[in-house]
Amino acid sequence: MRPLRLCLVASEVAPFAKTGGLADVLTGLGRWLGRKPPAGPGHEVRLFLPYYQRIAERDVATKPLPGASNLEIRFPNRTIRCSIRTTPLPQSDVLVHLVDCPELYGRPDLYTEDADEALRFAVLCRAVLETCQRLQWAPDVVHCNDWHTGLLPLYLRTTYAWDRLFAHTKTLLTIHNIGYQGVFPDSQLEALGLGEQRAHLHHGDLRDGRFSCLKTGVLHANKLSTVSRTYAREILTPEFGMGMDELLRTREHDLFGIVNGVDYGDWNPGTDPLLPHHYNANDLSGKAQMKAALLGRMGLPHDPRAPVFGVVSRLTAQKGFELFADSIPVFLQREDMRLLVLGSGETQHEKYFQWLRDTWPNKVAVYRGFHDELAHWIEAGSDVFLMPSRFEPCGLNQMYSLRYGTPPVVRRTGGLADTVQAWDPNTRQGNGFLFDAFTSQALAGTIDWVLRNWRDQRGWRELVKNGMRCDFSWEKQGPEYVGLYRSLVS
């Protein structure tokens, strides 16, 4: 079978621009898809994202993509000029194309609440298609990700429908998080060049004076996917669909759930360049050293017998930390344990974790912000990883923690349900701990159970090894995407 021409588009790609798992997925999937046989399937891959100010400031060596400078993207009342810069995706043969447009992306943050936020990502969509035209490169599949790329399938069907280059191009939209839909006033449609496409937009939204980029993508992409099997079922229900379940049910047969892969080149405790000590399932001594080093770094007393609970997360309602309020203090009061938190987000959660730290300064340490190296240290140096999510499309952190020998405590939802199996000390099967009800009591009961198992260190080592041996690599997960791409093309 011939290699496919694949165009992957997103608002984040690691290490260039990352706020969460989306960035890791684009990089891991892109790398694997482009890897030459026999190591990979050897597809022709181009990855597109905006050339954010942060990337420009980070000394990334980029150069102009020949033939793709001075693109003129025409909207009814203005023309946006941009150029494409390119750089290799580290550890791969894949090219990353960065849409260079200082007037839209020359801002301190990746995402803004500025009046032109919809335009910023509409330009990303159109710049992708204009670049393909300039290069006369006809993608077999344009793989869109999240709301930022939701308008692309519609532009392809309307603004670019005349161009035979795209006659056989198909689109896949992957929903990484339905909590973010890109909803804007419909008064902006004209400026986005979609004023005449109202018939192709979600009518209910238009009646309410708005439009949704994600819904538009769901209406027009040839196929849809999300990042775990369980979440693919969940978003068809009112509880998880966030107002999109009815629309998604109309496309149920085109919606697939593919669990995210892990790039074990980046996330492997045996080789991780961000760690001072390394280890593997047969020799865990480096993990004990990481625990001591981590506690030293965070300024907490070290005792090998006291379990360390780690958190690395965006601090948003999705992640379920409100369950801590009526559960964690009891354990901090009673148990000799440590809690390490790395994250930032909503003020109420940041304040709560600061309160925990102020109340138990010898047991709790908090780093507010984004810190890639510390994230790796916490995965490695903790004994237990906490992820009590209210909903979780897939989640990468629980898979990282499994590989780093740090059994996760998760709520049975979305990708957490698909990747974590409950530890049973009798059969010695399972890789972590799960609870069902979204209540503090359920979480507390599970932490209690964790602590009882922790006291049996022999059993605990089995649990750790079960997790470390799980394989969520892109080599395993990636072929599911290729199957989906092929089904679109045939």
Query: What 3-state class would DSSP assign to 197?
Result: helix
Number of residues that bind ligand GLC (CB under 6 A): 14
34, HSE (Cβ side, Cα atoms, 13 Å): 22
Q: How many residues does the chain have?
A: 490
Residue 96 β-bridge partners: 47, 87
Q: State the minimum distance, in angstroms, from the CB of residue 427 to ligand GLC.
A: 29
Contact with ligand ADP (CB under 6 A) among 50, 217, 307, 395: 395
> b/e for 290-319, b at 16 or more Cβ within 10 A?
bbebbbebbebeeeeebbbbbbbbebbebb
Contacted by 312, from ligand GLC, ligand ADP, none: CB < 5 to 8 Å by type: ligand ADP
Q: State the minimum distance, in angstroms, from the CB of residue 397 to ligand GLC.
A: 8
Q: Which is nearer to ligand GLC, 62 or 230 (CB)?
A: 230
Contacted by 227, from ligand GLC, ligand ADP, none: CB < 5 to 8 Å by type: ligand GLC
User: Which residue is associated with the tokens 């138990």?
Assistant: 360
The C-alpha atoms of residue 210 and residue 221 are separated, in whole angstroms, by: 20
CB-based closest residue to ligand GLC: 21
Q: Which ranges constitute the DSSP H helices of 35-72?
A: 53-57
Q: State the minimum distance, in angstroms, from the CB of residue 457 to ligand GLC.
A: 31
Q: Does 396 bind ligand ADP (CB under 6 A)?
A: yes
Q: Are 140 and 170 in contact (CB under 8 A)?
A: yes
Q: Does 287 bind ligand GLC (CB under 6 A)?
A: no
Q: Interface residues for ligand ADP in 12-31 (CB under 6 A)?
A: 20-22, 24
Q: Are 480 and 35 in contact (CB under 8 A)?
A: no
Q: Does 20 bind ligand GLC (CB under 6 A)?
A: yes
Contact with ligand ADP (CB under 6 A) among 157, 357, 371, 412: 371
Q: Does 177 bind ligand GLC (CB under 6 A)?
A: yes
Q: Does 343 bind ligand GLC (CB under 6 A)?
A: no
The C-alpha atoms of residue 17 and residue 23 are separated, in whole angstroms, by: 7
The C-alpha atoms of residue 67 and residue 46 are separated, in whole angstroms, by: 15
If you ran DSSP here, which 8-state letter would residue 463 be given? H
Q: Does 312 bind ligand ADP (CB under 6 A)?
A: yes
Contact positions toward ligand ADP, by CB under 6 A? Answer: 20-22, 24, 312-314, 342-344, 370-372, 375, 394-397
Contact positions toward ligand GLC, by CB under 6 A? Answer: 20-22, 25, 176-177, 227, 260, 392-396, 415
